[in-house]
Structure 1
Amino acid sequence: MLPLLPFTRYALILIPAIASMYLESYVSNGTYVFFILLFFWVAELRRTIFKKSVWMLLIEIGFGGWLSYQYDGLLFILFYSTLLTYLNTFHRHIRYSFLGIQLVLLNMSLQAQPSSYYVIANLLLFAQSLLLLHMRRVEQNKVDIELLYDQLRRQHYELDEARMQLLDYARQVENIAQLDERNRISRDIHDDLGHQLIRLKMMMEAALRILPTQMDKGMEMLTSVRDQLTNSMELLRSTVRRLKPDDDSMQTFTLSRLIEGLTKEKGISIEVDIQGMPYVLYPSLAFILYRNAQEAITNAIRHGGATAVQIQLIYETKQITMNVSNNGKTPVGETIKGLGMTGMEERSKLIGGQLHVAIEKSFTVTTILPTFRQTQ
């Protein structure tokens, strides 16, 4: 029961009880007051102790009907006081059963009253019933909405946690791959280069020992050491090259390579505006920027007939923003996301980024990615 309902309930007992004393002439006002106080006591017992007792509710309805029939006046309003207590609490079938009982007893208690009383009393009963049922429905909807909000908030937290775990997993995979490559290279150096250097050291020591007595054989051994040192140097160079990939491998997914390729193939003009202090990006971030820029430019040429594209890169402390706009025709009406635009959005959201499309002076696709940089 809502906080305001108990006051309303007792007001619907007290006010008609006092008004009936002035409207009607009772043989004994003391007896009348006693029964009214007794009804108060029953109502209080139901509020404090027997909140969901069906029998106590039946007693209150029957007692209220008897008071209304016995003392007339405005005591039929006692039915409305009782109605406040069960229409929002009991089960649906019980509610409607008691509502039918109250309706019958209400009309029975008004037998000695004018016909206008019947009409007013029944209309008030139906109006109050509808109002209480509507309040119950609104309260239930509020509870359902709060429950749904809690579920959505919990799912949002779970999704955010899963995203962070995915990012952590990607970093771990990258670190493990780097560690495996370092281990492989260290084994190659140890197994190949290390053994060759040890053998060459032994050969040089032997050559130094025999050189004073066997000049020809010593020179032959030193020549062999020189040739093997040349092979060892080549092995060292190839190992170093594996540590540092060539320029083609490093620049496969860079915007400069993309601009160069599109300018040659499509004959389109591409301008790049860099704001902020550039810094090295994770390969995964560079790949997403490359693919999103590629898709945005391809769509501009295919759908908008663009001849010029502007790419703006904004380097910030914790994120990088890329705006790709063109001079092509802007779409009319609502923009429908195709497979390309959906792929751009999915790639961005995978690492916690965002993708926005704006149609103002030009069609602009904005990619915002977190950079996960550790700043002092």
Structure 2
Amino acid sequence: MRKSFVNLSQLIRLLIIFIVVSINIINRSDVNDFYIFIFLAFIFNSQLRVNIIKDKWYPLSTLIDIGLLLILCIQYERANYLFFYILVLDNVSINKFFSYSVIPIIIYFSYYSGLEVLALNFMIIIFMMVFGNQLYSLQEKIEEIEELYDRNRRYSYQLENAKKTLEDYSKKVENQAQLEERSRLAVEIHDTIGHKLTALLMQMEAILIVKEKEPQKAEELLYSSRDLLKNCVNILRSTVKNIKPKKHRSGILALVDFLDEFSRETDTKTNFNIVGSPYDLLPGEVTALYRNLQEAATNAIKHGNAKNLDIVVHYNHDSLMMTVIDDGIGCNNLSKGMGISGMEDRVALFGGEIKVELLERGFSISTIIPVQGRGEVDENKSYAGG
């Protein structure tokens, strides 16, 4: 738009110059070297003002042109007053004071050219004033739009950088979560299978000692070693199976798969609900929810003899909360050794927390993970399963 206006201004400028020069040629005006010098100085200064000079020197350049044109109008043909329209055109959208200040000069010199010329100049002046006001308003809007565009572009760059930073942070958190989970599994295997394998080794050594003198005792130890080894294999198989959610289901649906399998294996009734509008979660977050659900469900059966589990996942704007409620026998003194410490460690990697509430019958364990505004809440939308 601005480029089109500049092209139009240049066209009008050339048209005015052509008209004045044509009038001087037709009237055979006394054009000498001084006239040519003043004329070229005016053209040079006006071009300099439009294309190069900044706002600070703009008024001075306009005053110089007014002086040069007054010399032309006084010393030579009065048709040179038409050059003042170039000043009006240059200042109409930049400095209204200079634009309006040359209008009396135009009227004064056009008066001596006859009433028809004076009326024509009045019409041109009125048109340029209306055109100038519209152009001034349009230019302000263009500048405002350009400023908004620049601001939006800066915000876009900042958002892109923030997105990249968040992705890098998510990868680091994911790697850290994997390391923490491996460390936890190592401790779990050591505390379960490690002790059993140590006992198995001692039994095997005892078999070697008593096999000659007490063959029956050695046979009993051998059967006991076999059972102990089977137990180790089952524990190892269960540990490997529970490392991560099943591959054929992703995201929150992995929790539904686990609950279906858990219900079949333990004869426990489960009820699963989603509140809010689901949004994407990081793989590490899904794994943490999956493992915490495993821990809470297992503890409810193992320590509380629960028969029913209610699981609710709340998709909030700034956090995701998974609550597991059981109808077990509960207890008066809660021990973090019942798997709660491990649950806290998993969500701590994401800045989350665990909240435990003792109910009249059973427990309520909530896993809360901040999601940094990844979704909006829709309380009317829910998913139920079980």
1:44 is displaced (CA, Å) by: 0.9
Structure 1's 200 and 221: CA in aligned 2 closer, same or farther, altered over 3 A? farther
Q: Does 2:112 align with 1:112?
A: yes
8 Å CA contact 2:110–2:118 kept in 1: the answer is yes
When residues 38 and 65 of structure 1 are mapped into structure 2, their CA distance, relative to the original with a 3 A threshold, is closer
1:83 corresponding residue in structure 2: 88
1:180 pairs with 2:180: yes
Question: Alpha carbon RMSD of aligned pairs, Å?
Answer: 5.2
Which structure 1 residue ranges, 4+ long, deviate > 6 Å from structure 2? none
- When residues 198 and 225 of structure 1 are mapped into structure 2, their CA distance, relative to the original with a 3 A threshold, is farther
Spell out the pairing of 1:261-272 with structure 2 (5 A cutoff): none
Gaps of 5+ in 2: 247-251, 261-282, 290-312, 314-370, 376-380, 382-386
Report the count of equivalent residues: 270
Equivalent position of 1:19 in the other structure: 23
Asked if the contact 1:88–1:136 (Cα under 8 Å) also holds between the matched residues in 2, the reply is: yes
Q: Is the 8 A contact 2:17 2:83 kept in 1?
A: yes
Distance across 2 between alignment mates of 1:250 and 1:13: 78
Q: For 1:37-186, what aligned pairs fall within 5 Å after superposition?
A: 37-48=37-48, 51=53, 52-69=57-74, 71=76, 73-89=78-94, 95-156=95-156, 158-159=158-159, 162=162, 173=173, 176-186=176-186
Q: Percent identity?
A: 21
Q: Distance in 2 between matches of 1:174 and 1:25?
A: 89
Deviation, 1:103, is: 2.0
1:68–1:76 contact (8 Å) kept in structure 2: yes
Instruction: Tell me the CA shift for residue 175 of structure 1.
Output: 5.4
CA contact (8 A) 2:93 2:136 kept: yes
- The 1:219–1:177 alpha-carbon spacing in structure 2 relative to 1, beyond 3 Å, is farther
| Equivalent residue number for residue 9 of structure 2 | 5
3-state secondary structure, aligned to 2:6: coil
Normalized against structure 1, the TM-score is what? 0.52
Unaligned runs of 5+ in 1: 90-94, 258-281, 292-346, 352-364, 366-376
How much has 1:35 moved relative to structure 2?
2.0
**Deviation at 1:202?**
4.2
Change (3 A) 1:237 1:173: farther
The offset of 1:121, in angstroms, is: 1.7
Of 211, 230, 234, the residue aligned with 2:231 is 234
Instruction: Answer 1 or 2: higher relative contact order, Cα 8 Å, separation at least 6.
Output: 2
User: Would the alpha carbon gap of residues 196 and 21 (structure 1) be closer, same or farther in structure 2, given more than 3 Å must change?
Assistant: closer
Partner of residue 338, structure 1: none
Contact 1:79/1:102, CA 8 A, preserved across alignment: yes
Match of 2:67, SS state, is helix
Relative to structure 1, the CA distance from residue 227 to residue 119 in structure 2 (aligned partners, 3 Å threshold; closer, same or farther) is same
Residue 79 of structure 1 deviates from its aligned partner by 1.0
d(CA) in 1 for partners of 2:62 and 2:166? 59
Counterparts of 1:262-341 in structure 2, within 5 Å, are none
